[in-house]
Amino acid sequence: MTDPRAQIGTTGKRLSRRSMLAGAAAGVVAPAAIASLGGSAATAQGNSKGDSGKTRRITMYAEEFPDGNVGYGLAPGKASIPGPILEIWEGDTLEIDLVNNTDRRLSIHPHGVNYSVDSDGSPLNDSFNEPGETRTYIWSTTAPYKASGNMWMPGSAGYWHYHDHALGGAHGTEGLRKGLYGALIVRRKGDILPERQHTVVFNDMTINNKVAPHVPILEANLGERVEFIAIGHGNTFHTFHLHAHRWANNRTGILEGPKDPSQVVDNRDLNPGDSFGFQVIAGEGVGPGVWMYHCHVQFHSDGGMAGIFLVRNEDGSLPDGAQAALDRYHGHEHGGDHPHGH
Amino acid sequence: MTDPRAQIGTTGKRLSRRSMLAGAAAGVVAPAAIASLGGSAATAQGNSKGDSGKTRRITMYAEEFPDGNVGYGLAPGKASIPGPILEIWEGDTLEIDLVNNTDRRLSIHPHGVNYSVDSDGSPLNDSFNEPGETRTYIWSTTAPYKASGNMWMPGSAGYWHYHDHALGGAHGTEGLRKGLYGALIVRRKGDILPERQHTVVFNDMTINNKVAPHVPILEANLGERVEFIAIGHGNTFHTFHLHAHRWANNRTGILEGPKDPSQVVDNRDLNPGDSFGFQVIAGEGVGPGVWMYHCHVQFHSDGGMAGIFLVRNEDGSLPDGAQAALDRYHGHEHGGDHPHGH
Amino acid sequence: MTDPRAQIGTTGKRLSRRSMLAGAAAGVVAPAAIASLGGSAATAQGNSKGDSGKTRRITMYAEEFPDGNVGYGLAPGKASIPGPILEIWEGDTLEIDLVNNTDRRLSIHPHGVNYSVDSDGSPLNDSFNEPGETRTYIWSTTAPYKASGNMWMPGSAGYWHYHDHALGGAHGTEGLRKGLYGALIVRRKGDILPERQHTVVFNDMTINNKVAPHVPILEANLGERVEFIAIGHGNTFHTFHLHAHRWANNRTGILEGPKDPSQVVDNRDLNPGDSFGFQVIAGEGVGPGVWMYHCHVQFHSDGGMAGIFLVRNEDGSLPDGAQAALDRYHGHEHGGDHPHGH
């Protein structure tokens, strides 16, 4: 149920990047095309032409796992940690019927989008689901608009996230600790669409509530356009580092033209409540292989905040040396500071 | 004296946003117009035409409160925590006569502006006020200028801050802990001016040296352009989150045209010595209501780092449900992790 | 050996800034010109015309110091903490023969550039030097390229860093603690070249593995273009603050034209694995003097994370008051929170 392969999706065919990019540029490839690869179920219903201004309605289920963790899912019995990637176009509205199948009060609270106090998801605004209760939360989005001179007020497009804000108290601290979180993407017309998507949540001293060597193996084939959505939660500070790939520290991770002044990074702060996203071409300029992603706070990576981004050969086969590296990763229980190395 | 309503100002009439924006675009609305709303006294003297290059002179007073905290003010007996918002145009010079009405050595040290070693405010440079002493600190500012090719050296415009750098040691650690800090805004010609201003300082485990439910209620009417200046101080890391509103993570929080690549955020790191500012249209797209702002580090929000941004109806009346939410906020002493919720 | 003056270089003549900038704009001033000032030895071999696409080969040596720390150097007996500044043009390839003159397994791992799994520097990929072993690591770089519409995939240009990833465990935690780190700069054609360079590494509770008053004095003459490369390592969060100077929070620290929306800062988060760089004109608008740079986390600066940026007069002489300030700095052992001030 928390198998990462279930969430990231591995059954979809690989799209031609050439046609994908052409389509994205023309704004005609729909998020629906991503859904089969990325588990982005919110986009599976309608909006196949990338039009903005549509209202989509989905049902989400909050469920407890046997180990006591709690997750969101798009169907009964399908909860996962992190929850499903919810993806809409700037201008869309998303109506979520949240079914609380647990015996605890909980809610869903989004970042980045518009919502009235009724959909705040906070006990402060009396906005939550009692055990067994179903409640509708409405999130809307908007494009940038001209404010004055050449200044524009920001729109909703971004790599955002959603999470509980009620389980265990005013701020959902217990709900977050147990896994009630997921990625929310609001795309702008013209944004390039990926072929793979991975959500990485640094939640206290875990990645997606797991520690090495049990952190999800994120996979792609050489040359695929892979999207990462990184989210921070909990009580500790973190920095997200990905080996051999980099991105622009801006809205999309891609440069808005050759004069975009954004810093390019491969390591970025990822603190509670923060999120960012980016796309890389898997293995570009570096080849396939077993690439680490980890928190760069040394005690955190040594303590198990380290996972694998496995870039396979273009045909999906394992590159030379990859199995040995995977075995090394799985061979240690905590990734720790061993005087004998590994 | 530390009543937040005194600091944020509630007596000024609400300006027409339409005329305000038109004025800002033309650069003819002076910061003086803000002073009556925002307590921005530094701008009350002169520069009513938004010209740059003026020298302004103010007197500030450092005073101890009965509870042992210490603050800056623009008149004797008027100290507040945070201190007054000081606001100038890029190109201006600000001369501050600091009167030390306490029995401790202290100083004032700015971020973002130019000053000689005499105005550094540090014991290292022998730049501080002994008890009872008055000392002049001079801060100047400058516009960007061309460096080479199309590259420009940065100017002074920004959301900055000032603070003590001498009380209790080389770095003013005790002065900061006790409240010697405030916002400093340097505006560029053409910047949009707000109708309301609020300073939010995450200082160790407090907001403006207070914890919930005693954190200031920040107020605005629906549709007003509200400016937040967020500042970090102390010894712990924080993330500032505002419900139902967002901003661009750039110089002004507003986009420099539709191609501005800046990430739009509603949660941002706010660590010691850092500051940023932004403007929102209160309740835009979400309606009036009782909106939380809080540190998104869970133990911090649970521990009391949570306040209220109260967006009233356009006519200033309380929206439906707002009183109940305010009562909930005031009903708990620490905002903590209650198994019973709220 | 860890004398900062050895690393920053003090023997080079001061270049005319006017000719420097003109040259940089035309892309004809080579990094080789910097090498004598900045210790940027990687650039001393070839590429005197600033062409991109060259392959450079250097040898680096890892060596243990008598105090147990470990450093990288460009010749036997020349290791330093931080290691030498490695500097290349976007498009170049750098081949490093790393000689391990210690009795511990170690490696070199870069940020920001391309490398195959063989050059990952990680035990995960069986990429490290056993004691006494020499191993070649290859780093390549690439320019941005058009992705779709007006979007461009990021290039390699940036202020990056390199560090051990194998000494003491999977993540090089012991190697980092002991000093195996340094700056890596990848420049884009047209980037402005500095006259001085300083590397500042916040490594746990130290600056370059030292604490006040033993932190390096960084020097420049009034009006020189000085480049700082700031790097974070270890286990604690930090904020880097420089008095009386500021920079844009973007790729270069300089604005990409007058409409560049980047926030201008004088204080920036500097957490483990992160790095950034910027250039200032020493003392511009503020005059010469003894300027502090320090971590703005109060307990960190009080605990010794504070150094001096000494801006001399244009002729290299000490400005008035500077010696007294230097004496104050050297007179206290920890920069602490003294009730008597300084």
A9 assigned to some structural domain:
no
pLDDT of residue C52: 57
What residues contact B115, with CB distance under 8 A and at least 6 apart? B137, B138, B139, B140, C244, C286
Half-sphere exposure of B216 (CA within 13 A, CB side): 23
* pLDDT (mean) for B319-331: 97
pLDDT at position C20 over 90: no
- Chain A hits for C155, Cβ within 8 Å: 264
* A19 to chain C, closest Cα gap in Å: 11
| Dihedral sign (CA B22, B27, B31, B33) | negative
pLDDT of residue B340: 35
B1 assigned to some structural domain:
no
CA dist., res. B188 & res. A200, Å (int): 39
- Chain B hits for A130, Cβ within 8 Å: none
Do residues A79 and A100 lie in contact, with contact meaning Cβ atoms separated by under 8 Å?
no
Of C192, C260, C342, the CB nearest to B123: C342
CA dist., res. A159 & res. A183, Å (int): 7
C142 assigned to some structural domain:
yes
CA dist., res. C78 & res. C76, Å (int): 5
User: Sorting pLDDT into bands at 50, 70 and 90, what band is B26?
Assistant: very low
What distance, in Å, lies between the first and last C-alpha atoms of chain C?
31
A165 assigned to some structural domain:
yes
Q: Taking CB atoms and an 8 Å limit, are A272 and B296 in contact across chains?
A: yes
Which value, in Å, is the radius of gyration of the alpha carbons in chain B?
20
Do residues C128 and C188 lie in contact, with contact meaning Cβ atoms separated by under 8 Å?
no
Phi and psi torsions of C77, nearest 5°: 80, 5
Both A205 and A313 in a single domain?
Answer: yes
Both C38 and C122 in a single domain?
Answer: yes
A337 assigned to some structural domain:
no
* C267 to chain B, closest Cα gap in Å: 6
B271-310 pLDDT, tens digit per residue, is 999 999 999 999 999 999 999 999 999 999 999 999 999 9
Q: Taking CB atoms and an 8 Å limit, are C22 and B257 in contact across chains?
A: no
Instruction: Name the percent of chain B lying above pLDDT 70.
Output: 82
Which one has a higher pLDDT value, B337 or B86? B86
Do residues C179 and C81 lie in contact, with contact meaning Cβ atoms separated by under 8 Å?
yes
CA dist., res. B157 & res. B251, Å (int): 8
* A246 to chain B, closest Cα gap in Å: 17
- Type of residue at B9: G
Which chains have 3 or more CB–CB distances shorter than 8 Å to chain A? Answer: B, C
pLDDT at position B166 over 60: yes
Size of interface A-B (CB pairs under 8 A): 178
Both A180 and A245 in a single domain?
Answer: no
Both A47 and A129 in a single domain?
Answer: yes
In 3-state terms, what secondary structure has residue C38? helix
pLDDT of residue C216: 87
Cα distances from C124 to residues A221, A330, C121, in angstroms, run 20, 10, 9
Q: Which is nearest to A247 in space by CA: A213, A215, A293?
A: A293
Query: How is residue C297 written in tokens?
Result: 């986390």
User: How many domains would you assign to chain B?
Assistant: 2
pLDDT of residue B332: 64
List B199's β-bridge partners, or say none.
B229
Least confident of A338-342, B333-337, C271-275: A338-342
Both A211 and A149 in a single domain?
Answer: no
Both C66 and C132 in a single domain?
Answer: yes
- Chain C hits for B157, Cβ within 8 Å: 264
Both A70 and A170 in a single domain?
Answer: yes
pLDDT of residue C193: 98
CA dist., res. B62 & res. A176, Å (int): 43
What residues contact B327, with CB distance under 8 A and at least 6 apart? none
pLDDT of residue B52: 57
User: Domain ends where: C187, C219, C237?
Assistant: C187
Cα of A295 vs its chain's centroid, Å: 16
Both B166 and B209 in a single domain?
Answer: no
* pLDDT (mean) for C45-74: 82
Q: Which is nearest to A16 in space by CA: A221, A215, A210?
A: A221
Q: For each of chain A's 342 residues, which pLDDT tens digit applies?
A: 233 222 322 222 333 332 222 222 222 223 333 333 333 333 433 333 344 589 999 999 999 999 999 999 999 999 999 999 999 999 999 999 999 999 999 999 999 999 999 999 999 999 999 999 999 999 999 999 999 888 999 999 999 999 999 999 999 999 999 999 999 999 999 999 999 999 999 999 999 999 999 998 999 999 999 999 999 999 999 999 999 999 999 999 999 999 999 999 999 999 999 999 999 999 999 999 999 999 999 999 999 999 999 999 999 999 999 999 999 999 864 444 443 333
Do residues A193 and A285 lie in contact, with contact meaning Cβ atoms separated by under 8 Å?
no
Do residues C195 and C219 lie in contact, with contact meaning Cβ atoms separated by under 8 Å?
no
DSSP B74-108: SSTT--BSS-PPEEEETT-EEEEEEEE-SSS-B--
Do residues C235 and A298 lie in contact, with contact meaning Cβ atoms separated by under 8 Å?
yes
Q: How many Cβ atoms from other residues are within 10 Å of residue A52's Cβ? A: 17
Tell the residue number behind the tokens 């100017």, with chain if given. Answer: B155
- Chain A hits for B339, Cβ within 8 Å: 168-169
* B142 to chain C, closest Cα gap in Å: 8
Cα of C1 vs its chain's centroid, Å: 17
C206 assigned to some structural domain:
yes
Both A238 and A166 in a single domain?
Answer: no
B312 assigned to some structural domain:
yes
What distance, in Å, lies between the first and last C-alpha atoms of chain A?
31
User: Domain ends where: A187, A218, A248?
Assistant: A187
DSSP B174-237: HHHHHT-EEEEEEEPTTPPPPSEEEEEEEETTEETTB-TTSSPEEEEETT-EEEEEEEEESSS-
Parallel/antiparallel/unpaired status of strands A275-281 and A289-295: unpaired
pLDDT at position C162 over 90: yes
Which one has a higher pLDDT value, A129 or C38? A129
pLDDT of residue B44: 32
User: Sorting pLDDT into bands at 50, 70 and 90, what band is B37?
Assistant: very low
pLDDT of residue C332: 64
CATH number, domain with residue A202 = 2.60.40.420
CA dist., res. C248 & res. C256, Å (int): 10
A175 assigned to some structural domain:
yes
Do residues A81 and A118 lie in contact, with contact meaning Cβ atoms separated by under 8 Å?
no
Both B50 and B118 in a single domain?
Answer: yes
CA dist., res. C168 & res. C147, Å (int): 41
Domain span at residue C60 reads 18-187
Quick check: ipTM above 0.90? no
Query: How is residue B60 written in tokens?
Result: 């500030």
User: Domain ends where: B148, B163, B187?
Assistant: B187
Q: Which is nearest to B154 in space by CA: B138, B143, B164, B169?
A: B143
Q: What is the pTM of this model?
A: 0.89
pLDDT of residue A332: 64
What residues contact B262, with CB distance under 8 A and at least 6 apart? A250, A251, B248, B249, B250, B255, C261
User: Sorting pLDDT into bands at 50, 70 and 90, what band is C164?
Assistant: very high
B6-23 pLDDT, tens digit per residue, is 222 222 233 333 222 222
pLDDT at position C47 over 50: no
Both A130 and A205 in a single domain?
Answer: no
Both B168 and B199 in a single domain?
Answer: no
Cα distances from C140 to residues A248, B48, B110, C90, C157, in angstroms, run 18, 56, 42, 9, 11
B108-165 pLDDT, tens digit per residue, is 999 999 999 999 999 999 999 999 999 999 999 999 999 988 899 999 999 999 999 9
pLDDT of residue B216: 87
C133-159 pLDDT, tens digit per residue, is 999 999 999 999 999 888 999 999 999
Q: Taking CB atoms and an 8 Å limit, are B125 and C325 in contact across chains?
A: yes
- Chain A hits for B252, Cβ within 8 Å: 151
Size of interface B-C (CB pairs under 8 A): 179
Q: Which is nearest to B213 in space by CA: B83, B301, B338, B317?
A: B301
